[in-house]
């Protein structure tokens, strides 16, 4: 390939909106261009990288026994109504109407479509196990796309779905995908941390996320420095302190806290630290109300609360509802004196708080000296708070470290949620009908391109691992007008190509400095220079991008030398 004929629009400066390294470098290197916020074109170089990532994924999926299909982007509303996700899916899918007012969404994920597909043709246990996958464009109506290819509205994803007749079969299918993912990231040169996670909008269990540790990531994960326990922020568990036994002391005493509706304000008025306060949050699920207690210095984790209460319509109570239920305005709720119909659920840490400050359920007042189990009863203590950096590990004596990460893949067991709703049932060996048991396995293909760029770059540009580099070799011809040099460069290019080494010959009419800068910026694993020195010594210079290792070689030795340096 000749650079003089290649669409290679590199930029000296990245646009100001590109905040993270991968976004800046992919724009500058001429890999991608932005059409609108969170919507990107892949230019020839970028597409080469994307296709290589896809090919690694495809090879490993096929090797694991999965079969590739291609399903539609347009999903009819009726299908999503049947699983209840037309309204429940978060973030809300992008929706469109055709000229007959028929509604569709642009698929953010394909559980409905694949289950409907399988339901039509698979009727016997003999037709499973079956794992189908596709590599396709997905749409998410992100409120605030950011980070280049990391959080976008339109992206390429590999999604796979397994169908089995029993749990043991699901376990095997799940493990096959899990192992395939480990191999995929190994081949891509992407170090991943596999963490425990919550399934969120998908539903399911045994959820694992594959995370790339990186400061530009949008996720926080927690890793124990001793036992290796790792989980994402939605489900990371810290060890609570031992609970404290208490005896009845004086009754809690009412204190005036005018206008102190926040933890900070109460601390300021009373001169107490936040861990001496108990935050009382009122939630509503159906007709039921729950008072949820966490220590004043902690944040409630909504995922954990939702997982514990298992109420699909769980939400925070409105100020009017709070007034109705507690008798006091919002900001002054507390667990003492609530109606019996209100459940009191507390984070485990509350069990060791003594002499606490709680809301008095009346305006501008709190109670001090409240003891859980003495002054009010808690229905259940359970882990409800957000973990924080430095928390004690729940599994050992180690400490949890908070780290930023990019989620690049997930695997989880779906069970029968979709097969039951969409009648994907088969006859088992006894002739009885059973819903198929499903697993779901996703990889963010375009996001992986960004993750690799985040991990593999330096001050001069990208440093692609050979497995995904757009070209293996950039051959810089420094004097394209000299016929002798041009001939050498073209012969080397032909030799490399014949040996299966993708090479771009930079024969552009540009200064040497521009060619060197572009080669570094684009990040070809190996650079070969044919210039005046070649005419003098009969040798060309090879330099490896990742560590700067150099070598000289005669033109006829270049293929062997390049092979050594790229190995």
Closer CB to Zn ion, 96 or 227, in the complex: 227
C-beta of 231: minimal distance to Zn ion in Å?
Answer: 11
- Cβ 222 to Zn ion shortest distance, Å: 10
The residue among 222 and 303 lying less far from Zn ion, judged by its C-beta, is: 222
CB of 402 to Zn ion, least distance (A): 14
C-beta separation of 287 from 341 below 8 A: no
Distances (CA, A) of 515 to 272, 478, 493, 497: 64, 8, 16, 20
Furthest-apart CA atoms within the chain: distance in Å? 99
129 cis-preceded (ω within 30 degrees of 0)? yes
Q: What are the φ/ψ torsions at residue 71 (nearest 5 degrees)?
A: -105, 165
Cβ neighbours for 185, distance < 8 A, ≥ 6 positions apart = 191, 192, 210, 408, 409
Nearer to Zn ion, 229 or 418 (CB): 229
Quick one: 226 or 244, whose CB is closer to Zn ion?
226
Q: Which is nearer to Zn ion, 398 or 465 (CB)?
A: 398
Residue with smaller CB distance to Zn ion, 227 or 549 = 227
CB atoms inside a 10 Å sphere around CB 134:
18
Shortest reach from residue 236's CB to Zn ion, in Å: 11
Q: Could you tell me which residues are beta bridge partners of residue 137?
A: 156
Say how far apart CA 175 and CA 173 lie, in whole Å: 5
Nearest approach in angstroms of CB 386 to Zn ion is 18
Shortest CB 347 distance to Zn ion, Å:
20
Residue 73 · residue 110 · CB < 8 Å: no
Residues that bind Zn ion (CB under 5 A): 224, 226-227, 229, 393, 395-396, 398
Quick one: CA dihedral 26, 28, 31, 35, positive or negative?
positive
Q: Which is nearer to Zn ion, 194 or 420 (CB)?
A: 194
Contact 340, 271 (CB under 8 A): no
CA neighbor of 150 nearest in space, from 460, 411, 453: 453
**Shortest distance, CB of residue 225 to Zn ion, whole angstroms?**
8
Q: Which helix (H) or strand (E) holds 421?
A: helix 417-421
Q: 92 φ, ψ to 5°?
A: -50, 130
Find residue 410's DSSP bridge partners: 209, 442
Q: How far is the CB of 372 from Zn ion (least distance, A)?
A: 27
Question: Contact, 104 vs 96, CB < 8 A?
Answer: yes
Q: Write out the two tokens for 214.
A: 């990186």
Q: Which residues contact 22 (CB under 8 A, 6 or more apart)?
A: 147, 148, 149, 150, 216, 449, 450, 451, 453, 454, 457
Q: How far is the CB of 239 from Zn ion (least distance, A)?
A: 9
Of 175 and 227, which CB lies nearer to Zn ion in the complex structure?
Answer: 227
Rounded to a whole number of angstroms, the minimum distance from the CB of residue 229 to Zn ion is: 5
| Cβ closest to Zn ion, residue 115 vs residue 232 | 232
Nearer CB in complex with Zn ion: 237/263: 237
3-state secondary structure of 443: strand
């Amino acid at each position: 390939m000749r650079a003089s004929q290649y669409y290679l629009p590199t930029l000296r400066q990245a646009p100001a909106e590109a905040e993270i390294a991968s976004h800046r470098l992919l724009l500058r290197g001429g890999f991608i261009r932005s059409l609108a916020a969170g919507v990107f074109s892949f230019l020839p170089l970028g597409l080469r990288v994307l296709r290589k990532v896809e090919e690694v994924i495809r090879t490993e999926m096929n090797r694991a026994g999965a079969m590739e299909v291609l399903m539609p982007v347009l999903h009819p509303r009726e299908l999503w109504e049947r699983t209840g996700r037309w309204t429940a899916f978060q973030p809300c899918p992008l929706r469109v109407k055709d000229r007959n007012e028929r509604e569709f969404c642009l698929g953010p994920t394909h559980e409905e479509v694949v289950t409907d597909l399988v339901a039509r043709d698979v009727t016997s246990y003999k037709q499973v196990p079956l794992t189908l996958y596709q590599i396709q464009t997905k749409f998410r109506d992100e409120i605030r796309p950011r980070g280049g290819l990391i959080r976008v509205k339109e992206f390429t994803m590999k999604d796979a779905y397994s169908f089995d007749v029993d749990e043991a079969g699901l376990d095997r299918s799940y493990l096959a995908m899990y192992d395939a993912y480990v191999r995929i990231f190994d081949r891509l040169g992407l170090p991943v941390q596999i963490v425990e996670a919550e399934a969120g909008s998908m539903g399911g269990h045994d959820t694992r996320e594959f995370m790339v540790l990186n400061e530009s990531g949008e996720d926080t994960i927690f890793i124990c420095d001793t036992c290796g326990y790792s989980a994402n922020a939605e489900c990371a568990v810290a060890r609570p302190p031992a609970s404290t036994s208490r005896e009845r002391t004086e009754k809690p005493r009412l204190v005036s806290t005018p206008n102190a509706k926040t933890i900070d304000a109460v601390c300021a008025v009373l001169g107490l630290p936040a861990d001496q306060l108990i935050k009382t949050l009122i939630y509503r699920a159906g007709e039921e109300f729950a008072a949820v207690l966490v220590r004043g210095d902690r944040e409630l984790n909504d995922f954990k609360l939702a997982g514990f209460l298992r109420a699909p319509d769980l939400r925070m109570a409105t100020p009017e509802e709070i007034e109705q239920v507690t008798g006091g305005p919002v900001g002054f709720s507390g667990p003492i004196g609530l109606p019996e119909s209100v459940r009191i659920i507390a984070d485990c840490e509350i069990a060791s708080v003594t002499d606490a400050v709680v809301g008095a359920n009346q305006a501008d007042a709190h109670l001090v000296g409240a003891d859980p189990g003495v002054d009010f009863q808690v229905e259940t203590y359970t882990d409800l708070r957000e973990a924080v950096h430095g928390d004690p590990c729940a599994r050992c004596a180690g400490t949890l470290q908070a780290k930023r990460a990019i989620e690049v893949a997930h695997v989880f067991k779906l069970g029968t949620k979709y097969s039951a709703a969409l009648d994907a049932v088969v006859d088992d060996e006894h002739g009885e009908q059973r819903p198929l048991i499903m697993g779901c396995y996703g990889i963010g293909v375009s996001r992986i391109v960004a993750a690799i760029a985040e991990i593999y770059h330096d001050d001069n540009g990208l440093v692609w691992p050979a497995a995904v580099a757009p070209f293996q070799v950039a051959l810089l011809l420094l004097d394209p007008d000299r016929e002798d040099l041009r001939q050498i460069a073209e012969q080397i290019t032909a030799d490399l190509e014949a040996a299966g080494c993708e090479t771009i010959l930079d024969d552009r009419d540009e200064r040497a400095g521009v060619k060197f800068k572009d080669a570094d910026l684009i990040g070809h694993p190996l650079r070969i220079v044919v210039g005046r020195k070649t005419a003098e010594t009969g040798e060309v210079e090879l330099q490896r991008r990742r560590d700067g290792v150099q070598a000289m070689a005669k033109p006829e030795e270049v293929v062997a030398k390049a092979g050594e340096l790229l190995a």
